[in-house]
Amino acid sequence: MASPSAGARPYDVVLIGATGFTGALTAAVLAERAGAAGTRWALAGRNRDKLAALAQRLGADVPLLHADVEQPATLRELAESTRVVATTVGPYIRYGEPLVAACAAAGSDYADLTGEPEFVDLMYVRHHATALERGARLVHSCGFDSIPHDLGALFTVQQLPEGQPLTVRGYVRAGARFSGGTLDSALTAFSHVRSSARAAAARRKAEGRPEGRRVHGERGLPAHVGGAVGWALPLPTIDPQVVLRSARALDRYGPDFTYGHYAAMRRLPTAVAAGVALPSLVLAAQLKPVRSFLTGRLGSGEGPSERTREKSWFAVRFEGSAADGTRVTTEVAGGDPGYTETSKMLAESALCLAHDDLPDRAGQLTTAVAMGDALRERLEAAGIAFRVLARVSPGDAGYAPGA
DSSP string covering 264-278: EESSHHHHHHHHHHH
* pLDDT greater than 60 at residue 95: yes
Sign of CA dihedral 292, 116, 190, 235: negative
Classify each residue of 327-341 as buried b or exposed e, where b means 16 or more C-beta atoms within 10 Å of its C-beta.
bbbbbbbbbbbbbbb
**pTM of this prediction?**
0.91
3 pLDDT band, cuts 50/70/90, is very low
Residue 145: CB atoms within 10 Å: 25
CATH 3.40.50.720 fits 6-143+340-381, yes or no: yes
242: amino acid identity, one letter = V
193 pLDDT band, cuts 50/70/90, is confident
pLDDT of residue 221: 84
pLDDT of residue 4: 40
For 334-392, how does the pLDDT look when each residue is reduced to its tens digit (9 = 90+)?
A: 999 989 999 999 999 999 999 999 999 999 999 999 999 999 999 999 999 999 999 99
pLDDT of residue 222: 85
Q: What is the β-pairing status of strands 166-175 and 214-217?
A: unpaired
* pLDDT greater than 80 at residue 5: no
pLDDT of residue 269: 47
Delimit the domains of the chain by residue range: 6-143+340-381, 147-336+383-392
For 133-153, how does the pLDDT look when each residue is reduced to its tens digit (9 = 90+)?
A: 999 999 999 999 999 999 999
**What is the C-alpha separation between 383 and 111, in angstroms, rounded?**
21
Residue of higher predicted confidence among 34 and 129: 129
214 pLDDT band, cuts 50/70/90, is very high
pLDDT of residue 305: 83
CA dihedral (285, 289, 290, 295) in degrees, to 10, reads 90
303: closest CA among 328, 340, 331, 334? 340
- CA 252 vs CA 95, 242, 264: distances in Å: 35, 16, 27
At residue 237, what are phi and psi to the nearest 5 degrees? -95, -175
DSSP string covering 106-125: HT-EEE-----HHHHHHHHH
* pLDDT greater than 60 at residue 167: yes
For 370-381, how does the pLDDT look when each residue is reduced to its tens digit (9 = 90+)?
A: 999 999 999 999
- CA 313 vs CA 24, 259, 329, 332: distances in Å: 20, 24, 20, 11
213 pLDDT band, cuts 50/70/90, is very high
229 pLDDT band, cuts 50/70/90, is confident
pLDDT of residue 394: 87
pLDDT of residue 236: 85
**What is the C-alpha separation between 15 and 177, in angstroms, rounded?**
24
Burial, 394: exposed, middle or buried (Cβ in 10 Å; 0-12, 13-18, 19+)? exposed
Helix axis angle, 288-296 relative to 180-190, nearest 10°? 170
Average of per-residue pLDDT across 293-305? 62
pLDDT of residue 1: 44
Lowest mean pLDDT among 85-94, 163-172, 270-279: 270-279
Question: Which residues are within 8 A (CB) of 339 and not within 5 positions of it... i.e. 6 or more apart?
Answer: 21, 22, 25, 179, 303, 304, 309
Query: Phi-psi category of 208—alpha, beta or left, where left has phi over 0 and alpha has psi -120 to 50?
Result: left
Residue 129: CB atoms within 10 Å: 14
Highest mean pLDDT among 80-94, 165-179, 191-205, 288-302: 80-94
DSSP 158: T
